[in-house]
Amino acid sequence: MKHLMRSRANPHIRELLAEGGLSLAKLIQPIFVVEAMSGEEDIVGLVDNRRMGVQAALRQIESDVKNGVRHFMLFPVPAQKGIAPDPGADIISAIKGAFASDIHLWVDTCLCSSSPLGHCCLFQEDSQSKIDLEATLNTLGSYARAYAGAGADGIAPSDMMDGRVAAIRAQLDQHGHQDIPIMSYSTKFSSAFYGPFRAAADSTPNFGDRRQYQIDVRNRTDALNASMRCADEGADLLMLKPGMTSIDLLKPIFKKTSLPVGVYQVSGEYASLALLGREGLTDFNAALLETWHVFQRAGAQYIITYGARKGHDLGIALT
């Protein structure tokens, strides 16, 4: 199946990508689900978002669906570190078992939550600086295949390794998942705005940083090339991250690829508005809504935001 049809064939993606004004169907709500956790825990700065066990997550999703949220980005957080064959597949089957096609479940696909080193890749055995690309791509591909097998509606690779979209597409296709779209974190900058997330996903690197594979904010050409390469490798949707610091690239990337391009309003962006609100220095809801309108004005076709579940209260309709 060609990638254009893969997106059209799914009613939730049709709404996500429909041209027009802001609607709840264009917002994607991240969720952090921790294997074997009972109950839930606050995440510093991420107001209205928590780390949850599966049961709590099911209750949260139920309430989100009532509030018009249709798209979720799942971050499966394994109970123990280690590269297991399919970390989080049981979480996906529990969620899809409960909500079936009422929701569209994207699954963030990366190694940083399961890797003992907290990096998005595997390293060659004798080194903590040389990435083992082949092993990384094979592992990402098998995670994606396991996620699709467990019922994921879309795969969202966030690791920034060269060649991962092609590797994941090949494994999905070989295992009968031709209809599962790939939303690639295609231009992902090395950024100081990911702090609250790393605590939530338990993915802070043990050593070094991610500049070896994430893009330097000074480099526009690299930023354009990274998204173009994902398009060439078969990504169905592209995404820029962080959101606000990438808006200048939305239209150029769309012009070069003709693929839908969205933004991820990352944890530090959301938390900074929430903290200003908490200090009484701004109206958090008004600020959030303002940023979403700016994303749309700049050409974002969809928005991943920790505030999707507040969209209904902010007066945004489903379509």
Q: Which chain residues interact with ligand PBG by CB under 6 A?
A: 108, 110, 112, 120, 158-159, 194, 197-198, 203, 210, 266-267
Q: Tell me the closest approach of the beta carbon of residue 143 to ligand PBG, in angstroms.
A: 12
Pick from 42, 41, 141, 31: which is nearest to 92 by CA? 31
Q: Tell me the closest approach of the beta carbon of residue 110 to ligand PBG, in angstroms.
A: 4
Residue closer to ligand PBG by CB (options 173, 245) is: 245
Residue closer to ligand PBG by CB (options 112, 223) is: 112
Contact 93, 35 (CB under 8 A): no
Q: Outline where the chain has alpha helix (H).
A: 3-8, 11-17, 54-66, 89-99, 133-150, 164-174, 195-201, 220-233, 250-257, 267-278, 284-298
Residues designated as active site: 188, 241
Q: Tell me the closest approach of the beta carbon of residue 121 to ligand PBG, in angstroms.
A: 10
**DSSP structural state of residue 244:** G
Residue closer to ligand PBG by CB (options 120, 240) is: 120
Long-range CB contacts (within 8 A, 24+) of 33-37: 33/57, 33/74, 33/75, 33/76, 33/77, 33/88, 33/91, 33/95, 34/77, 34/79, 35/76, 35/77, 35/78, 35/79, 35/87, 35/88, 35/90, 35/91, 36/79, 37/79
CA gap 215, 208 in Å, rounded:
15
CA gap 228, 220 in Å, rounded:
12
